[in-house]
Structure 1
Amino acid sequence: MSVALFLVGLAASLSANFVPHIPFESDEAMPWYAVDGDGDTGVCQTSGCIKAAEALKASIDPDADPCEDFFAFACGGWQKRNPIPKTDSQWNQFNVVERKLDIQLREIFEQVENTIEPEPVVWVKNFYQACMDIERREQLGVNPLLELLSSLGGWPIAQPSWSESEFDLLQTLGFVTRRTAVTPLVSVYVHLDRKNTSRSVVTVDQGSLVLPRAMLAQPAVYKKQLAAYAEWIVGTAKILGASAKREELLEQAKEIVQLESHLAELTAPSEDRRDAYRMYNSLSVRQLQKWTDTVESQGHKSVLQWAKLLKSVFQETNVEISSGERVLVREMEYILKLEALLQKTPRRTIANYLLWRVVKNLGRDTNAKMRHLSFSFDKIFSGVVEDQHLWVECVSRATSALPFAAGFQYVKKYFDTEAKTSALHMVHHIRKVFIERVGNLDWMDDETKLAAKEKAKAMTEFIGFPDWFTNSTALTNYYKGAIVGKDHFENIVSMTSHQIQKVFEKLRVLTDRNDWLTGPAVVNAYYNPLTNSITFPAGILQAPFFGKNALEALNYGSIGVIIGHEITHGFDDMGRQNDMNGNLVQWWTPETEYSYLEKALCIVDQYDHFRVPELDELLATKATMNGVNTQGENIADNGGLEQSFEAYQLFVSENGPEQKLPGLDYTPEQIFFIGYASVWCESSSPESLLHEVLSNPHSPHRHRVNGPLSNSLQFAKIWQCKTNSPMNPENKCQVW
């Protein structure tokens, strides 16, 4: 669950009384969800315990052997009771909570406007209503999109009169970046300087792709998906006015797909993008141009003219970029390869691809025909049976466009603010355990241990919602300059542009380390290596991740492990490259770094061999995990589990043993592990699982359960799993 900033994944999203920080070790540390059941019976009878017991009984498959496959044991019942909805390609506990949150946000958005509401809250309601205004959207049809395309010279495949001489590649690329957040060919954004995180810097990176890189780079393996992709383009072109014969349209569509496949081949795979030093290349705009000009251009100027492109990207901000402006280039070789590719690719094909990316990104925000085409592709790509309900899509659009406006009312109406205090307790408790564990490591020298402890102590936390949510004026100021009207398409473009401008204008401003990057109404958590901070929005601080009046074992097994997971991200293969201030600094001694790499390699090799048999038929081979690409998340999963279980043991030693849950003959320690596993219960279509294995840095949920548990000595002991049983292999891996 690592951080995703805008343009790197931006788009990837309040209480009247601020809850003060209370140290876990204080006299007030008794958690608000503490059990107060009947101590004489040894069974907890609180409402929280009864509800938790019922949920776990429904989740467990008693016929499965916990020492053979703990995921099957803890989630077998859940899977039987939770088939994948027709509108989804996967269904898990996060999706369940997200759907609950969607319903709550829908209720907020459909409420009659209140005269005392802050203006941005009115705007987010208007945004949702415009999205739901089917009659107006059908009346406008694709005209707003056509007008946008026309301002860029038109989409060649759909416009017979397209003129190559009127196509300006750099102006178009800059426009789609600043107005639509689309980053084809090359990504240009503002990001914290990894070697000096007190400031931001212009950053240049390889472009984004529509399909997974592996899919585009292996067309022979993924013929079905690529054919469906081309058909999507053809169908869209027809709706937008293409008059050419189908054969000609299909030929152009294949050229678009082929260009994207070439781009995929040029990009560095995720496995090669884990070394921050390799991706830190500081140049001036002038030097970047000289680098680009080294590509043979047969007497012509390079296609990529950086001064012109950056001027276009920053056109709607108050920021001016000179030729001496310092930029960070993340993929130097990609720039050269891209320049060479652009020089030999027909301009019509380039224009077709650039404008297709705009059409693809905005098509669903026009009319029903365009949404249906998008869904037709998604059926093949992800395995969904029915298109998503419009209200769900509109809730998502509104929340993404004005995340803090949506979160303001959500927190006020639905968030239990005591959860913020409790989460702070657990963060400090588990971080204390992490620091103690570092002190006991036998593979770390004292110098590196001291630096690791200092980094953990310096880690800041963002819990629930921003402090300024108590001030409606601050919310209004946050959205200063935003425009929301009656037309959904225009709202999408306007608010996307507004968000980008806010990010780009941070270029000349010192870093605000108290700045929230995501709204509260999100079911997620993440670690930001550049600010050395962890974030737990209000949306995730609820059942099944977090609950009151139930066993502490469940809270430590669920949200506790997630907290430990995020803390460990500061010390995974990528997070460890940054110091306590988030700067790219080598703070490891050579000997300790070597020991770390050995331990990390154990995790990589272990997960590399985990099978994904559901994909055997799709891939015509024995499918396995990608241990390199998922190593950061796997290290965090394993570390979070160990830290949270140790923290729970410390809680028991200080507060006494807990009772059992009613109707479940498991010890609280066993409940800890069941609670951990049940958080990751999931059902997935083969298509969704394929996409996950190809692109997701997280392991599939089955392996997020069985992998860390099979490495845990405590798990094997508590569940009495025999040595060399599947859940207790003799060879185990552990870093933190």
Structure 2
Amino acid sequence: MRNLLIYLGFLSLQVISGHFIPHIPMADDEAMPWYIVKEDTSVCQTTGCVEAAEALKVSIDSAADPCNDFYAYACGGWQKRNPIPKTESQWNQFNIVDRKLDLQLKDIFEDDLHLEQEPEPVALVKQFFQACMDIERREQYGVRPLSEILSTLGGWPIATTEGQWSEDKFDLLKTLGFVTRRLGLTPLATVFVYTDRKNSSRSVVTVDQGSLVLPRAMLAQPSMYKKQLTAYAEWMVGTAKLLGARVDEDEMMEEAKKIVHFESRLAELTAPSEDRRDAYRMYNSLSVRQLQKWTDTIQTHGKKSILQWDRLLSLVFQDTEANISSGERMLVREMEYLLKLEALLQNTSRRTLANYILWRVVKSVGRDTSAPMRHLSFSFDKVFSGIVEDQPLWIECVTRSTSALPFAAGYQFVRKFFDSEAKITALEMVHHIRQSFIDRVDTLEWMDDETKLAAREKAEAMAEFIGFPDWFSNATALKHYYEGAIVGKDHFENVMALTSVQVKRVFDKLREATDRNDWLTGPAVVNAYYNPLTNAITFPAGILQAPFFGKDTLEALNYGSIGVIIGHEITHGFDDMGRQNDKDGNLVQWWTPETEYAYLEKALCIVEQYDHFRVPELDVLLATKATINGVTTQGENIADNGGMEQAFQAYQQFVKENGPEQKLPGLDYTPEQIFFLGFASVWCESSSPESLLHEVLSNPHAPHRHRVNGPLANSHHFAKTWQCKTGSPMNPVNKCQVW
């Protein structure tokens, strides 16, 4: 630090940089002396610290009591200054970084000055974006490309003139095969290739219950959600009219209601997420022949079952080299669902089946056609999500382009915007926090030595992928990855073609050994995840930036933000679902009975605690005292609590090794308090009632307020740091902690 020369004038006492300098008497003829005083080194003055301090100042609501509601204290100011944009149903720190990322990608996609010098896939993603933005060409084609697809599948009954649709032209299995391999859709049953949970070195054909458009809870309780379901039916009618329907609108509405009713019946058949947390229950190994016998147990009145698995699988894998025989070993996740599905299909008209499946096609790619189709989608979202304005087309095209060619988009993003030092620093932090987890395991009184050893081995074996894949330095590897990808001037055709390429890439893994270095997402995303089948954590480049990460700010902030996220993902390997896999990702029982029982008791404490967390904003909408679902969110809640504790312990170790950190300028908080403020500020959010409803109905995460207050209320470190009295809301007597 530079020295400051301080001239002592006639003041008897002067304050400089927080230090008191006494007046020294001097003779009249004595020259006035100069004193050298060092600048205060207890405050960090880097650009990163100054910016972080300013961000916290405007985020904090000092009128709130941190020991009563820390989320309100840390985020109250942020919420006042960050109303929900008209195009969003919620607005949080992740959305802000997402928007920054969108602008960066837009900048990349619009730069066509260096096309000849860039790898071919980069040129392809730019061409994809430009075709998406070509409004004139898209309007010229309108809905015609979609209509042609529907025609090849026998026509969408609701959009067909009365008497022109024939059930003889509708082939259910052929249609299911087409929508799976061409669009990745799973409207009745999911057929895909997935890692074998008991032998993670290979992949296997996996069959599961189908997906739904609306949340299961919403479809299963139609009387409670009439407004949303009516808007859903109106969306169908509107699209049918644009696709050329010449039927009376009242008749179309009746037909749309039948589609909604059918999807509600499907929802009733599906297992809720609460019942899908036991990997052993969902691991059923059968051959195709055995699955057919199981399906045939449903009474068919002498007719063949509608679900003929041999044929369906051959249609799904039609574009691959895999030959699926009747002896092919498969994994079936929901045995009872398939029986119920067969019974439902037998008692549903072919017209309704065609209407529903082809509606899923229309819903999937309708926005990729004309402006009127996009407007109909937006009209539904106004009711469903609470948005006021539709997204600008450029944002939608950035999203579509990045989804279609994620590694091509990520390749250029990393080269142009990513700080390579962040990868090194983040990797070091991963190692520190993983060691913190291991150290915590060693101190657990409820875990016996045998299970502790297995837990340590799993944590030590956990692979980490930071920033971007190692092969990104090789442009030839990028070109090889997208070999066969074609992009033209027509946006709709581009979407269809590249979706098929992505689906085929997944199906082609059937006869290949598991690539444990495989990235599931591209680098240009603001997310992080744990893969239990490879025991690996991934932190893409998109999340390694402010406010989650900074290289010239306090480590207290980094450990409180990205550090907690790292700890969160590590803990996923040991939450109620991740703990079922061993260090190699295999479904193996590595817990002793006594330790497993102790674990379940501690997990139950988390479940019951979060079950009582209120969401009063939804009381009127749900006509009850709304609370979180502690069962469906338990995995994320366990990870939230464990991640925060591990990150704080790792930060304490950092201070022990490097000495205490400075304060932030203009803020009278200790670095430990800054850790918790950094943690909380990452989750600041403004939410609409519609957004909160979707979180409560179907999101595995708790609402952001409880992602902050829940872990902090369970933390003795937090209570001590903020001096919260025992029994206060943020320091309850009864606490829950697993890891």
Asked whether the 8 Å contact 1:303–1:343 carries over to 2, the reply is yes
Q: Give runs of aligned pairs for residues 313-332 of structure 1, distance below 5 A.
A: 313-332=316-335
Cα distance, 1:41 vs. partner? Answer: 3.5
SS of the residue corresponding to residue 388 of structure 1 reads: coil
Residue 145 of structure 2 is matched in structure 1 by: 144
Which letter does structure 1 place at the counterpart of 2:420? T
> Does 2:392 correspond to 1:380?
no
Asked whether the 8 Å contact 1:420–1:463 carries over to 2, the reply is yes
Once residues 109 and 487 of structure 1 are traced to their aligned partners in structure 2, the CA distance between those partners, rounded to angstroms, is 17
> Does 2:135 correspond to 1:129?
no
Asked whether the 8 Å contact 1:205–1:330 carries over to 2, the reply is yes
Asked whether the 8 Å contact 1:113–1:122 carries over to 2, the reply is no
Residue 651 of structure 1 is matched in structure 2 by: 654
Residue 213 of structure 2 is matched in structure 1 by: 210
> Does 2:463 correspond to 1:447?
no
Once residues 456 and 540 of structure 1 are traced to their aligned partners in structure 2, the CA distance between those partners, rounded to angstroms, is 23
SS of the residue corresponding to residue 708 of structure 1 reads: helix
Q: Give runs of aligned pairs for residues 477-556 of structure 1, distance below 5 A.
A: 477-556=480-559
Describe the superposition over 1:287-327 as per-residue Cα deviations: whole angstroms up to 9, x where unpaired.
00000000001111000000100011011111111111111
Which letter does structure 2 place at the counterpart of 1:77? G
Q: Give runs of aligned pairs for residues 641-680 of structure 1, distance below 5 A.
A: 641-680=644-683
Question: 5+ unaligned residues in a row in structure 2: which ranges?
Answer: 1-37
Once residues 255 and 311 of structure 2 are traced to their aligned partners in structure 1, the CA distance between those partners, rounded to angstroms, is 29
Once residues 39 and 699 of structure 1 are traced to their aligned partners in structure 2, the CA distance between those partners, rounded to angstroms, is 46
Residue 47 of structure 2 is matched in structure 1 by: 47
Describe the superposition over 1:416-473 as per-residue Cα deviations: whole angstroms up to 9, x where unpaired.
0000000110000100111111011000000000000000000000100001000100
Cα distance, 1:666 vs. partner? Answer: 0.4
Which letter does structure 1 place at the counterpart of 2:102? D
Describe the superposition over 1:141-198 as per-residue Cα deviations: whole angstroms up to 9, x where unpaired.
0000001111111101111211101110000001000001111010000000000000
Decide which of 263, 266, 272 is 2:266's aligned counterpart: 263
Once residues 126 and 80 of structure 1 are traced to their aligned partners in structure 2, the CA distance between those partners, rounded to angstroms, is 41
Residue 616 of structure 2 is matched in structure 1 by: 613
Residue 702 of structure 2 is matched in structure 1 by: 699
SS of the residue corresponding to residue 249 of structure 1 reads: helix
SS of the residue corresponding to residue 466 of structure 2 reads: strand
Describe the superposition over 1:632-659 as per-residue Cα deviations: whole angstroms up to 9, x where unpaired.
0000000000000000000000000011
Residue 24 of structure 1 is matched in structure 2 by: none
Q: Give runs of aligned pairs for residues 11-22 of structure 1, distance below 5 A.
A: none
- TM-score calculated relative to the size of structure 1: 0.95
Once residues 53 and 347 of structure 1 are traced to their aligned partners in structure 2, the CA distance between those partners, rounded to angstroms, is 63
Once residues 220 and 353 of structure 1 are traced to their aligned partners in structure 2, the CA distance between those partners, rounded to angstroms, is 21
Cα distance, 1:353 vs. partner? Answer: 0.2
Return closer, same or farther for 1:509/1:39 CA change in 2, 3 Å cut-off. farther
Cα distance, 1:113 vs. partner? Answer: 4.4
Residue 722 of structure 1 is matched in structure 2 by: 725
> Does 2:88 correspond to 1:88?
yes
Once residues 84 and 578 of structure 2 are traced to their aligned partners in structure 1, the CA distance between those partners, rounded to angstroms, is 35
SS of the residue corresponding to residue 340 of structure 2 reads: helix
Cα distance, 1:39 vs. partner? Answer: 7.8
Once residues 238 and 419 of structure 2 are traced to their aligned partners in structure 1, the CA distance between those partners, rounded to angstroms, is 48
Asked whether the 8 Å contact 1:158–1:242 carries over to 2, the reply is yes
Once residues 323 and 505 of structure 2 are traced to their aligned partners in structure 1, the CA distance between those partners, rounded to angstroms, is 15
> Does 2:444 correspond to 1:434?
no
Decide which of 337, 345, 352 is 1:334's aligned counterpart: 337
Cα distance, 1:244 vs. partner? Answer: 0.8
Once residues 612 and 401 of structure 2 are traced to their aligned partners in structure 1, the CA distance between those partners, rounded to angstroms, is 42
Cα distance, 1:548 vs. partner? Answer: 1.3
Residue 110 of structure 2 is matched in structure 1 by: 110
Decide which of 169, 173, 176 is 1:173's aligned counterpart: 176
SS of the residue corresponding to residue 734 of structure 1 reads: coil
SS of the residue corresponding to residue 330 of structure 2 reads: strand
> Does 2:673 correspond to 1:687?
no
Cα distance, 1:724 vs. partner? Answer: 1.1
Asked whether the 8 Å contact 1:527–1:567 carries over to 2, the reply is yes
Describe the superposition over 1:537-581 as per-residue Cα deviations: whole angstroms up to 9, x where unpaired.
000000000001110100000000000000000000000000000
Once residues 228 and 618 of structure 1 are traced to their aligned partners in structure 2, the CA distance between those partners, rounded to angstroms, is 16
Once residues 249 and 572 of structure 1 are traced to their aligned partners in structure 2, the CA distance between those partners, rounded to angstroms, is 47
Asked whether the 8 Å contact 1:169–1:351 carries over to 2, the reply is yes
Q: Give runs of aligned pairs for residues 210-359 of structure 1, distance below 5 A.
A: 210-359=213-362
SS of the residue corresponding to residue 385 of structure 1 reads: coil
Once residues 281 and 336 of structure 1 are traced to their aligned partners in structure 2, the CA distance between those partners, rounded to angstroms, is 14
Asked whether the 8 Å contact 1:157–1:237 carries over to 2, the reply is yes
Cα distance, 1:517 vs. partner? Answer: 1.2
Which letter does structure 2 place at the counterpart of 1:159? T
- More displaced 10-residue stretch of structure 1: 532-541 or 156-165: 156-165
Describe the superposition over 1:118-138 as per-residue Cα deviations: whole angstroms up to 9, x where unpaired.
000000000000000000000
Asked whether the 8 Å contact 1:596–1:735 carries over to 2, the reply is yes
Once residues 536 and 548 of structure 1 are traced to their aligned partners in structure 2, the CA distance between those partners, rounded to angstroms, is 16
Of all paired residues, the percent bearing the same amino acid is 78
Cα distance, 1:58 vs. partner? Answer: 1.1
Once residues 113 and 401 of structure 1 are traced to their aligned partners in structure 2, the CA distance between those partners, rounded to angstroms, is 22
> Does 2:78 correspond to 1:78?
yes
SS of the residue corresponding to residue 204 of structure 1 reads: strand
SS of the residue corresponding to residue 527 of structure 1 reads: strand
Q: Give runs of aligned pairs for residues 188-203 of structure 1, distance below 5 A.
A: 188-203=191-206
Once residues 320 and 63 of structure 1 are traced to their aligned partners in structure 2, the CA distance between those partners, rounded to angstroms, is 67
Once residues 548 and 453 of structure 1 are traced to their aligned partners in structure 2, the CA distance between those partners, rounded to angstroms, is 30
Once residues 87 and 187 of structure 1 are traced to their aligned partners in structure 2, the CA distance between those partners, rounded to angstroms, is 32
Once residues 488 and 322 of structure 2 are traced to their aligned partners in structure 1, the CA distance between those partners, rounded to angstroms, is 27
Once residues 488 and 725 of structure 1 are traced to their aligned partners in structure 2, the CA distance between those partners, rounded to angstroms, is 57
The structure whose Rg is larger is 2
Cα distance, 1:40 vs. partner? Answer: 3.6
Residue 708 of structure 1 is matched in structure 2 by: 711
> Does 2:424 correspond to 1:421?
yes
Return closer, same or farther for 1:39/1:336 CA change in 2, 3 Å cut-off. farther
Which letter does structure 2 place at the counterpart of 1:174? G
Which letter does structure 1 place at the counterpart of 2:74? A
Deviant stretches of 4+, over 3 Å:
38-41
SS of the residue corresponding to residue 277 of structure 1 reads: coil
Question: 5+ unaligned residues in a row in structure 1: which ranges?
Answer: 1-37
Once residues 469 and 651 of structure 1 are traced to their aligned partners in structure 2, the CA distance between those partners, rounded to angstroms, is 32
Once residues 320 and 240 of structure 1 are traced to their aligned partners in structure 2, the CA distance between those partners, rounded to angstroms, is 37
Residue 31 of structure 2 is matched in structure 1 by: none
Once residues 480 and 75 of structure 1 are traced to their aligned partners in structure 2, the CA distance between those partners, rounded to angstroms, is 47
SS of the residue corresponding to residue 117 of structure 2 reads: coil
Cα distance, 1:516 vs. partner? Answer: 1.1
Residue 154 of structure 1 is matched in structure 2 by: 155
Describe the superposition over 1:574-609 as per-residue Cα deviations: whole angstroms up to 9, x where unpaired.
000000000000000000000000000000000000
Which letter does structure 1 place at the counterpart of 2:228? Q
Q: Give runs of aligned pairs for residues 594-605 of structure 1, distance below 5 A.
A: 594-605=597-608
Once residues 40 and 452 of structure 1 are traced to their aligned partners in structure 2, the CA distance between those partners, rounded to angstroms, is 46
Asked whether the 8 Å contact 1:39–1:659 carries over to 2, the reply is no
Decide which of 479, 500, 503 is 1:476's aligned counterpart: 479
- More displaced 10-residue stretch of structure 1: 41-50 or 607-616: 41-50
Cα distance, 1:679 vs. partner? Answer: 0.3
